[in-house]
Structure 1
Amino acid sequence: MSKPELKIRLMDTHAGGDVSRIVLGGIDPLPGATVRDQMHYLRDDADGLRKLLLDEPYGIPEMSVDLIVPATDPEAEAGYIIMEVMGYPIYSGSNTICTATAVLEAGLVPKREGRQRFLLESPAGRVQIEALVENDVVEAITCEGLPSYIDTYRSTIHVPTIGDVTYSVAYSGGFYALVDAAELGFSLVREEERALSECAYKIVEALQAERGFSHYTLGDVGPLPFLHFMGPVEQVADDFYRSRSTTYVHPGVICRSTTGTGTSARLALMHHEGSIRPGDKLETVSLRETGFIGEFTGTHQEGQQTVVENTITGKAFVLAHSDIVINPEDPMVRDDSVYHILGSRHDTSS
């Protein structure tokens, strides 16, 4: 006897070129007292959803998936869980910009003209959102970046076939290696995308083999996954800077955008070097000429760490509204760790 088809309701969006597939319906409620707990359940007991929506035939590894879930924080309007090819990051700027836009466009948060503020709940905790709506269009989203800090400043590692590489390491939602693109022979143009990915892979592999990194409260968060190539910083106004940038996140995957967390990492580095003051902004510009604007808003002390407070501003665009059909008889859909959370009765938009 054939199993019934199941549907998942989606809104595809992008911010800075990074596609975020927003799951609005078709997933049953997940166990967990917090959104972070629900993320752990997905990771440990239902990872098939991530694989289903990022692998063929439904998706590609360069995409992200954001599952909308009910908030557990009574002050938050909605919760969301981020899924990417490398796993489950607790926070992402581009995904947050896309999710905030999606909850407004889907009516989960009533859209109002002008500026409006609301809270979302990410696995990292509550996130303050400010949306700018003009003529019923979400023109910009400003979201809090995670408190960011410099773990390592200008250390050197020998990388086979490349040589000695100078790098810094920042935490901004994940650990980032920060390297000077020009020192490695890159101008940060789109034609270099494949070479950037190959270079970043070698550096990250060498760093992972040599050392680990520990967060001051989270402890061991796994091997360093990300590398951010930094272009020269240009000062375009008294309080405004611009820099070409690109972020490597996984073998073969260079983000289309500059990434919000990558931009937060840059702000932490600029503060560490004493080159920015509270209120200063940095626009990071991608290989595809898209950008996010990070603002350095202040610092506070966490134990022995001085952490940088920041916001990220960008715009998301809606690409598509769709229902995808999951047919359990399809030989391309083999992961049984997804079917127990699929249910056509559940729809987060209702």
Structure 2
Amino acid sequence: MRNELILQVMETHAGGDVSRIVTGGIDPLPGATVREQMEYLRDDADGLRKLLLNEPYGLPEMSVDLIVPSTHPDAQAGYIIMEVMGYPIYSGSNTICTATALLESGMIAKQEGNQQFMLESPAGLVHIEAHIENGVVETITCGGLPSYIDTYQATIDVPSIGEVTYSIAYSGGFYAMVDATQLGFSLVREEESRLAECAYAIVEAIQARSGFSHYTLGDVGPLPFLHFMGPLEQVGQGFYRSRSATYVHPGVICRSTTGTGTSARLALMNYQGLIQPGDKLETVSLRDTGFIGEFVAVHQENGHAVVENTITGKSYVLARSEIRVNFEDPMVRECNSLHHILSSRHKDTPG
């Protein structure tokens, strides 16, 4: 006999970033809000994240999104984001993938044309607009978190690199924003490993120097992200394009440019006076995939110019499957606290 758990999952990607959507198999989590449920996983039951992002079940480059019941009457579902760096309260690519999975799985019924609904993320309510043609989810537009510049044009000496100029943006997490050209990068796929090494050194240096505090959330942990910015090209009236790459500490270059990375770039462009409400920015990844960010509005809050924005992208369904978790597997037993959220659902099956 063996102890086994079965998880229902849907594999998706947006811009190349793979998101594994867990649609079933997890016990209800404690917490009055999705944010509190996320904090429970983070503090007391981190085993699920470790299980699904590491061997033999996954890779650190992936993300996991756990579907949970919404706790807000206006939201049709809730979701918790898990990445190699921990539990970001928001992610554009993961939101695009989660919304697509909910629609394609039938957990939210599709409506032809433009369909609007709300999801509950750990950051709060997220407005979703899905464009559906012939029963296929063609695009998802989601609200990006209000974004602002915390630090502009600071410099730091980085071992093996030299002096680096950076800005710090907040867009759901704190981002170091660096000019790729000044660091010798063209932002092509062949540079991926060197980009990761460079970003690792820069983030380590900035983390050692200081932390960053959100004006309402307070301390949200060490700097987790870096965004490489390519040259800005104007390709139409109020429409811009830039090659970009987002790094997640430690060691991961995202396949996509990421939604939060795009939101951070919009905040920086606004700070520099380069765009106005209604303008759009397409960020293009090392794999030539892209997201489109729209600068919706700006308001002043706690001394910051806070940019309201949306992110548009397309997610593709890769697979629908079951994951079988064998509790006798020593690689599973290494996932401390997994039993906190799985113990009442595992079952004995003939071995």
- Name the TM tier (shorter chain): over 0.9
Look up the equivalent residue of 2:229 and give its one-letter code.
M
2-side partners of 1:4 and 1:220: how far apart? 40
Look up the equivalent residue of 1:24 and give its one-letter code.
T
Normalised to the residue count of structure 2, the TM-score between the two structures is 0.96
Structure 2 gap segments, 5+ residues each: 347-351
Look up the equivalent residue of 2:11 and give its one-letter code.
D
For 2:267, the equivalent position in structure 1 comes to: 268
Query: 1:319: how far off?
Result: 0.4
2-side partners of 1:149 and 1:314: how far apart? 22
Q: Deviations over 1:276-327 (max 9, x none)?
A: 0100000000000000000000012222222000000000000000001111
Whether the 8 Å CA contact 2:46–2:336 is kept in 1: the answer is no
Q: For 1:248-263, what aligned pairs fall within 5 Å after superposition? A: 248-263=247-262
Look up the equivalent residue of 1:338 and give its one-letter code.
L
Q: Deviations over 1:219-262 (max 9, x none)?
A: 11111111100000000001100000001102321000000000
Whether the 8 Å CA contact 2:176–2:226 is kept in 1: the answer is yes
Structure 2 counterpart SS, 1:332: helix
Q: For 1:38-117, what aligned pairs fall within 5 Å after superposition? A: 38-117=37-116
For 1:216, the equivalent position in structure 2 comes to: 215
Query: 1:274: how far off?
Result: 0.5
Q: Deviations over 1:48-102 (max 9, x none)?
A: 0000100100000000000000000011000000000110000000000000001
For 1:121, the equivalent position in structure 2 comes to: 120
1-side partners of 2:25 and 2:336: how far apart? 16
Structure 2 counterpart SS, 1:232: coil
1-side partners of 2:314 and 2:209: how far apart? 38
For 1:338, the equivalent position in structure 2 comes to: 338
Structure 1 gap segments, 5+ residues each: 346-350
2-side partners of 1:78 and 1:301: how far apart? 31
Look up the equivalent residue of 1:283 and give its one-letter code.
E
Normalised to the residue count of structure 1, the TM-score between the two structures is 0.97
For 2:327, the equivalent position in structure 1 comes to: 328
Whether the 8 Å CA contact 2:231–2:243 is kept in 1: the answer is yes
Look up the equivalent residue of 1:23 and give its one-letter code.
V
Look up the equivalent residue of 2:25 and give its one-letter code.
G
For 2:141, the equivalent position in structure 1 comes to: 142
Give the direction of change, closer, same or farther, for the CA distance of 1:337–1:3 in structure 2 (3 Å limit): farther
Q: For 1:187-226, what aligned pairs fall within 5 Å after superposition? A: 187-226=186-225
1-side partners of 2:159 and 2:200: how far apart? 11
2-side partners of 1:252 and 1:214: how far apart? 23
2-side partners of 1:224 and 1:332: how far apart? 30
- Structure 1 window deviating more from structure 2 (87-96 vs 3-12): it is 3-12
> Cα RMSD over matched residues?
1.0
For 1:304, the equivalent position in structure 2 comes to: 303
Structure 2 counterpart SS, 1:50: helix
Query: 1:344: how far off?
Result: 4.4
- Structure 1 window deviating more from structure 2 (50-59 vs 324-333): it is 324-333
2-side partners of 1:3 and 1:33: how far apart? 34
Structure 2 counterpart SS, 1:5: strand
1-side partners of 2:97 and 2:265: how far apart? 21
Whether the 8 Å CA contact 2:3–2:328 is kept in 1: the answer is no
2-side partners of 1:200 and 1:252: how far apart? 8
Is it true that 1:319 corresponds to 2:325 in the alignment? no
Query: 1:165: how far off?
Result: 0.6
1-side partners of 2:103 and 2:97: how far apart? 10
Look up the equivalent residue of 2:339 and give its one-letter code.
Y
Q: How many residue pairs end up in the alignment?
A: 344
Query: 1:336: how far off?
Result: 4.5
For 2:349, the equivalent position in structure 1 comes to: none
Report percent identity of matched pairs: 76
Structure 1 counterpart SS, 2:166: strand
Structure 1 counterpart SS, 2:244: strand
Q: Deviations over 1:169-189 (max 9, x none)?
A: 100000000000000000000
Look up the equivalent residue of 1:195 and give its one-letter code.
R
2-side partners of 1:311 and 1:341: how far apart? 34
